[in-house]
Structure 1
Amino acid sequence: MNKSDSELLMINGNAAGIDLGADYHWVSVPEGRDSECVRRFGCFTADLYRMATWLKACGIETVAMEATGVYWIPVFQILETQGFEVKLVNARHVRTVPGRKSDVLDCQWLCQLHSYGLLAGSFRPDDSVCVLRSYIRQRDTLIKSASTHIQRMQKALTQMNVQLHRVISDISGTTGLAIMRAIVAGERDLPKLAALKDVRIHASTEEIVAALTGDYRVERVFVLQQELHLYQVYQQQIAECDVQIEQCLSQFADAVDVTMAPLPPSKRRGKKQPGNAPTFDLRLHLYRISGVDFTQIDGFGGLTVLTLLSELGLDPSRFPSVKHFVSGLGLCPGSRITGGKQKSSKTRQVANRVANALRMAAQTLGRSHSALGAFYRRMQSRMGAPKAITATAHKLARIFYRLWKSGGSFVDPGTDAYEQQYQERTLKNLQKKALALGFDLVAKPTAPECVS
């Protein structure tokens, strides 16, 4: 330890550092706690419990480790259940701390930095929320896998020159699945296949018959059969995952009594649920456990809110302010300043599911008759669609944080109110500029009405 190190204040005296690996983990404790201040442990569960026992014997209270793939998850969970304060550190933050020596092991370096309080732990919600998050992420994985088989089914139909996707909007809908099941079952009577259409299909029977006229080769029908079967398997797995999600949501404590404060009516028009929506009443569960109906925010559906709460949890105190919240999501302008000159204001590239969900919600506001929709269109005309999506996602994040922390409800002022507010703000800025230049801003007199 050199002179500069001795000047640092020791904040975490009982700190340890762990260098994670696929086969074994290196653990470092402060000098004097054991005859060997650095030990190697295996990756088996028994080895992890031996690690926890050794750390307790050394008087360790807090542990820092780098995020490495998924190897940190069992170590984190076991140490946390054993009563340790575990900090999962971003490897990029560790590399940016100066003073690294080549003869110091990674675990010793983590231990030293953590003892001086130079490491900040990554965000991780409560364990009950982590359970819900695992189900949600598995559901997203199943949906993505199912979408692959939809593309393959459409490819098989196209190779047979069956242009079903030209006359119906979704081949995985009620009409598309019914027709493909009949084709796989051996039905080749085109009028009978067209008669399977749903009443909501706008295409006529003649148009569907023309689209179904094709070359039904045996090998292509076989491929369609297998892809259809795999798609149905994934749909069954998604349904089973929904059961687990509903059971998990029912175990959360009530934040509001739905009998005394019932759920507000949905803003969605029509009774049809959006694609991939679960069969149970998702809005009611989310309202019950959070006390806020986030779906009143334009662009937010039940699945979007479920993603946000499963990734963030129900405790907003982990984010001291809304600025910390949007900065952690990478939705605020950057601040690359060198020599007093700002080099770039681009947003940081952050791989975050919450930020992705907010961007997707912002993208749906392009045709919304709301204040947020008007804001998105104004930003799009000024900066283009990509930056408009980021700016609108930033605004959605601020609205979500306010409701998440303080409760209440969201009321949309409407497009007209937003345009009026924007006009007043623009007029106020023009008056300030005119006053600074020594001019007076005078309104144009209205023309008198002609009286016949």
Structure 2
Amino acid sequence: MKQKKAVKKSKKLPKHLQHINQYAAGIDVGSRSHFVAVPEDADEQPVREFSTFTGDLERLAEWLIACGVTTVAMESTGIYWIPVFEILESHGLEVKLVNARHVKNVPGRKSDVLDCQWLQQLHTYGLLRGAFRPDEQVCTLRAYVRQRVTLVRSAASYIQRMQKALAQMNLQLHNVVADITGATGMRIIKAILGGERNPDVLAAMRDKRCKNSAATIARSLKGNYRPEHLFSLRQAVEFYEFHQSKIADCDRQILEQLKNFDAQDFPNDGSPSRLGEALQRMTGVDLTSIDGIDTNTALKVIAEIGTDMSRWKSAKHFASWLGLSPGARISGGKVLSSTTKPVANKAAAALRMAAFTLFNSKSALGAYLRRQRARLGAPKAITATAHKLARLIYVMLSHGTDYIDAGQEYYEERYRTRVLQNLKRKARELGFELVTLQEPAAVS
């Protein structure tokens, strides 16, 4: 008896697994070369390797267009994706930058060829979502702001070197002056580098707003002036002033870029007031009215997210994208972890720094931060307050509304009312009644 061969019936793929992007390509980005995969029927050699030189990237774009490709997916690998993204986009291709977590390959052999084919396959079925990228004007502003942040960070290192050189000469200037780069500190340091050694003459250069007296400052300026330490101090001061001039150049360039969002012209002096005014006209709201957010913080956030809040469905989605929302790892009805996901988001970092400044604030946000710190600890309280700041920014930019601080007393009263309501509800559930005790009358 002959055994019948099993007939393999071709089943139609379900709707969510049908080819959504028929002409999709996948690129595995590298530092030396890029591997590109196109549909198998688009070319005799569907996987090719291209070098990272500009001419090769132009050739890559032309090959993709010749293959009929309309959309491309690639991972965000370091900064190597930027030239590929910009050149392909300039040729009219739709480029999706995808999160590496979302395209992790199945276990097995791993190679650049398999990676680009996996990206192409996922993108064909429409299983990839492009990462957020603001429009071209905001990207340009973001580049200037990030360069400014780099310069500020580098300048801070030279302030530390100035303090080290002063400490090696036993000049305790940082103990009597709040900021050695302020008016008093820089005048004294410049005089020391000019050859002045008399502590009384140096102390007389103090600013009238300085808290410590001239006698106290003079005592701190009697030191051991060694030539090698003076040499280190001089170089640190020169590097610090050089960085300050470059930061001023960045501020002027940022103000020039902000003018592209508004027709009104501003004096290009790069001052914080001008930057704040231009930023307010760009966004239509005053983000600095939120406690803890100054002009630099608002500029950093806007440079990262832009002004179009329609990219996110709601304030919750926006906070989740920033990495400021609690996680939701649940299995079998049990919460495995609620920690926030690790996200290297510069806007979130700026909001965390803004939240950190609210510990001594008498505002409602300051009261909220202190309440959360008592309940959760400082790190989680900062993240929770940054989450609240993100939601406020989303609402202001979405609806053009202003922020008005209700004050610490209002927040405390609302918290007390909420606690009393919860206690009364729990008492009713247990069959009790919560009664507020009256204060005893004073005995005459």
TM-score by shorter chain over 0.5: yes
Note the aligned Cα RMSD (angstroms). 2.0
- Residue 35 of structure 1 is matched in structure 2 by 44
Could you tell me how far apart the structure 1 residues matched to 2:186 and 2:66 are?
A: 62
Offset at residue 59 of structure 1 (A): 1.4
- Residue 145 of structure 2 is matched in structure 1 by 136
Offset at residue 447 of structure 1 (A): 2.7
Could you tell me how far apart the structure 1 residues matched to 2:189 and 2:68 are?
A: 65
- Residue 390 of structure 1 is matched in structure 2 by 383
- Residue 34 of structure 2 is matched in structure 1 by 25
**Structure 2 counterpart of 1:424, from 417, 429, 444:** 417
* 2:329 is aligned with 1:336: yes
Offset at residue 280 of structure 1 (A): 5.1
Could you tell me how far apart the structure 1 residues matched to 2:107 and 2:11 are?
A: 10
Stretches of structure 2 lacking an aligned partner (at least 5 in a row): 1-9
Partner-residue secondary structure (3-state), 2:181 = coil
Offset at residue 4 of structure 1 (A): 9.8
Offset at residue 446 of structure 1 (A): 3.6
Could you tell me how far apart the structure 1 residues matched to 2:110 and 2:275 are?
A: 53
* 2:154 is aligned with 1:145: yes
Offset at residue 186 of structure 1 (A): 1.1
Offset at residue 228 of structure 1 (A): 0.7
Offset at residue 99 of structure 1 (A): 7.5
- Residue 313 of structure 1 is matched in structure 2 by 306
Partner-residue secondary structure (3-state), 1:105 = helix
* 2:380 is aligned with 1:371: no
Deviations 1:333-369 (A, max 9, x none): 1111122211111111111111111111111111111
* 2:239 is aligned with 1:230: yes
Partner-residue secondary structure (3-state), 1:41 = strand
- Residue 82 of structure 1 is matched in structure 2 by 91
Offset at residue 253 of structure 1 (A): 3.2
Offset at residue 33 of structure 1 (A): 1.2
- Residue 402 of structure 1 is matched in structure 2 by 395
- Residue 270 of structure 1 is matched in structure 2 by none
Deviations 1:389-436 (A, max 9, x none): 111111111111111111110011111111111111111111110111
With normalisation by structure 2, the TM-score equals 0.93
- Residue 58 of structure 1 is matched in structure 2 by 67
Offset at residue 387 of structure 1 (A): 1.2
Partner-residue secondary structure (3-state), 2:278 = helix
Written as runs of structure 1 = structure 2, the 5 A alignment for 1:53-132 is: 53-95=62-104, 98=106, 105-132=114-141
CA separation of 1:11 and 1:439: change in aligned 2, threshold 3 A: same
Q: Retained in 1: the 8 A contact 2:31–2:52?
A: yes
Partner-residue secondary structure (3-state), 1:32 = helix
Could you tell me how far apart the structure 2 residues matched to 1:418 and 1:335 are?
A: 28
* 2:235 is aligned with 1:193: no
Written as runs of structure 1 = structure 2, the 5 A alignment for 1:151-190 is: 151-190=160-199
Partner-residue secondary structure (3-state), 1:40 = strand
* 2:282 is aligned with 1:244: no
CA separation of 1:190 and 1:102: change in aligned 2, threshold 3 A: closer
Q: Retained in 2: the 8 A contact 1:331–1:394?
A: yes
* 2:294 is aligned with 1:301: yes
The aligned length equals 429
Could you tell me how far apart the structure 1 residues matched to 2:262 and 2:369 are?
A: 36
Letter in 2 for 1:341: K
Percent of aligned pairs with the same residue? 53
Q: Retained in 2: the 8 A contact 1:365–1:373?
A: yes
Deviations 1:219-258 (A, max 9, x none): 111111111111111111111111111111111136xx99
Q: Retained in 1: the 8 A contact 2:276–2:295?
A: yes
* 2:229 is aligned with 1:220: yes
Stretches of structure 1 lacking an aligned partner (at least 5 in a row): 259-276
Could you tell me how far apart the structure 1 residues matched to 2:11 and 2:381 are?
A: 47
Letter in 2 for 1:190: P
Could you tell me how far apart the structure 1 residues matched to 2:301 and 2:109 are?
A: 41
Letter in 1 for 2:91: Q
CA separation of 1:144 and 1:278: change in aligned 2, threshold 3 A: farther
Could you tell me how far apart the structure 2 residues matched to 1:385 and 1:163 are?
A: 32
Offset at residue 38 of structure 1 (A): 1.3
Partner-residue secondary structure (3-state), 1:247 = helix
